[in-house]
Amino acid sequence: MKQNSMGQGFTGVVGKVPAPGLVLAGVCGIQFGAAFSPRIYPQVGAPGVVFLRLLIAGVLLCLIWRPRRQALSSVKGAWGTVLSAGALLAAHHLAFYEAVKHIPLGAVATIEFLGPFAIALAGSRRTVDLLPACLAIGGVVLLGGGGVPLDPGGLALAGVAACCWAGYILVSSRMARRLSGGQGLAVAVLFAAMVSAPYGIAQAGSALLDPQVLWVAALVAVAASVLPYSLNLEALRRIPPRVFGVLTSLEPAAGAVFGLLILGQRLAWPQWLGIAVVALASVAATFLGAGERPKSRTVTRGGPSDSHPGEHPEGVVVSDRGVTTS
């Protein structure tokens, strides 16, 4: 799938950054946006924030990657994967931002991490792989055990966000393997904006056009959507979803830090200890996952692949672990 000069430039720059660094930058961007967004909650509410964030991000990503319908249609199953990613993204955003209205950002990020944690645990093939996952869940327990009563509705919404984020990681990983560049991501985010539009417009109305609202939404869109999702997509091309899931265990820590710096939400010392444990789990996952991914080649069931680089229609991956469908 051919990329334009802007997309090639972006790919060239991020290609020099280690995958864990890309994930870390994405985590920080997402949590910064979550902490900054409440500035416009009184005007447009969480649905309005989500709609504007996704709309602006989708437009910017389309300008960067310039997706083509023919390019997506040339890869079997690409449209289903892209639209599924967009639907999960919209549901995640709506649940996450509604949850932040009811319980602290650090708690929401902690519960949301249970989604990637489930991926990390389910994808473990060696006993040693369970070490960072267990460390991470221990840190999550410490981080969430502050003794402050949490609204049940907020907890439920955070749980929905966790499920949607886990689903998005899996679908986005498939999208990253089958589609080169960010064309699929651009369409997915724009579709997510369309999915959230009815709810966002109904809740916010004409307040969506307020200049103060628009500049905050634009900042959040770039910092918490355009950059993180582009970086995450590139990272998912280099590391398996299991390792990616554990690396995102830094989200509770990032949420707690940005919650403190921007929203003034303070934590007790056991919660800061939890942050340290979660960070340690992320480092452990990085070192244990290094070199684990086997060299593989893709072949099609009908013969040699005629797809473009980065596209693997209905192939099988042949590695030292055996043959699996891609």
pLDDT along the chain (326 residues), means of 10: 54 74 90 89 92 95 85 83 94 93 85 80 74 80 68 91 92 82 88 95 92 93 88 83 76 85 80 79 70 44 37 33 31
* 303 three-class SS: strand
- Residues 249, 165, 170, 121: is their CA dihedral positive or negative? positive
All residues at 6 or more sequence positions from 42 whose CB lies less than 8 Å from its CB, including other chains = none
pLDDT of residue 308: 38
pLDDT of residue 7: 54
pLDDT of residue 264: 82
Q: List Cα–Cα distances, 239 to 136, 181, 214, 244, in angstroms.
A: 18, 16, 35, 7
pLDDT of residue 57: 94
What is the chain's alpha carbon radius of gyration, rounded to the nearest angstrom?
A: 19
Q: What are phi and psi of 320, to 5 degrees?
A: -75, -5
Q: Note whether 106 and 256 are within 8 A (CB).
A: yes
pLDDT of residue 147: 59
Q: Among the residues of the chain, which ranges form H helices?
A: 5-14, 19-36, 41-65, 69-73, 78-100, 105-112, 114-122, 130-144, 152-178, 183-204, 211-221, 227-236, 241-247, 250-263, 269-289
- The pTM of this model reads 0.75
- Residues 309, 311, 317, 320: is their CA dihedral positive or negative? positive
pLDDT of residue 45: 92
DSSP secondary-structure letter at 308? P
Q: What are phi and psi of 107, to 5 degrees?
A: -70, -40
Determine the Cα–Cα distance for residues 95 and 194; give it in Å rounded to an integer: 16
